[in-house]
Chain A
Amino acid sequence: DAMVIQNPRYQVTQFGKPVTLSCSQTLNHNVMYWYQQKSSQAPKLLFHYYDKDFNNEADTPDNFQSRRPNTSFCFLDIRSPGLGDAAMYLCATSRKIKAGDEKLFFGSGTQLSVL
């Protein structure tokens, strides 16, 4: 009964070829996050949506974009993947803080390889 679902689990793309990673949630959470985790490193926040409001981190490259067409789905688009973009991409969700539950729920991640 996965609550935050990421597809695909593994994605292989070519250098410079656009790729889209998807995330869906059954929790009806308002906030969705995308984290990048490179090998042996900590997860790093790329951006998040608070409802429909998009919030980009200052150091997130322009190569990364995101879409959230509705509450349940969120997409990460990498316009021109480079070798340095190979990483695990983690989607996470949470309620609005005012709801009193701050916990993040992570998906299983998509491992992206760039050839």
Chain B
Amino acid sequence: GENVEQHPSTLSVQEGDSAVIKCTYSDSASNYFPWYKQELGKRPQLIIDIRSNVGEKKDQRIAVTLNKTAKHFSLHITETQPEDSAVYFCAASIMEYGNKLVFGAGTILRVKS
């Protein structure tokens, strides 16, 4: 089955700097790659997603890049703010009749002001 690895496990950045989180996946058939932000005790919130037919997607300060050949995808957050501090999860799935996400282990992002 699919296996998703995520790095780093923790990331500390200064406010205003950029943050990059990287994930690799094992199943070349995976075709959907979302990123979730989760604050303590709360539900995961989708922040951006990308399909396998797209190489890059941007939404304001957040961008995701996908390299299908290398089977890795990355989250880029620019101009980080203290409210960006949270746990970020990448995920991958093979969309068929349902969308069974396999999550990475998560990255704790701390933005220091």
Contact = CB atoms under 8 A, between A and B. Distances in A.
Contact of B89 (A42, A50, A98): A42
Interface residues of B, number: 24
A33 B100 CA distance: 8
Nearest to B98: A31
Contacts of B34: 103-104
A31 to B, nearest CB: 5
B101 A111 contact: no
B110 to A, nearest CB: 15
B47 to A, nearest CB: 12
A40 B97 CA distance: 30
Q: Is the interface of B mostly helix, strand, loop or mixed?
A: loop
A107 B96 contact: no
B44 A97 contact: no
B101 A104 contact: yes
A108 B43 CA distance: 5
A48 B42 contact: no
A42 B106 contact: yes
Q: Which of B43, B45, B105 has the most CB of A within 10 A?
A: B43
Contacts, number: 59
A interface bracket (residues with beta carbon within 8 Å of B)? 20 to 34
B40 to A, nearest CB: 10
Given A41-B105, A42-B104, A44-B103, A90 B98 contact: no
Most B CB contacts (10 A, CB to CB) among A33, A41, A43, A96 go to: A43
Most chain B CB within 10 A, of A42, A108, A109, is at: A42
B4 to A, nearest CB: 8
A94 interface: yes
B103 A94 contact: no
B113 interface: no
Contacts of A107: 43
Nearest to B87: A40
13 contacts: A31-B99, A41-B105, A42-B106, A43-B89, A50-B98, A90-B43, A97-B97, A102-B99, A103-B34, A104-B46, A104-B99, A106-B43, A109-B42
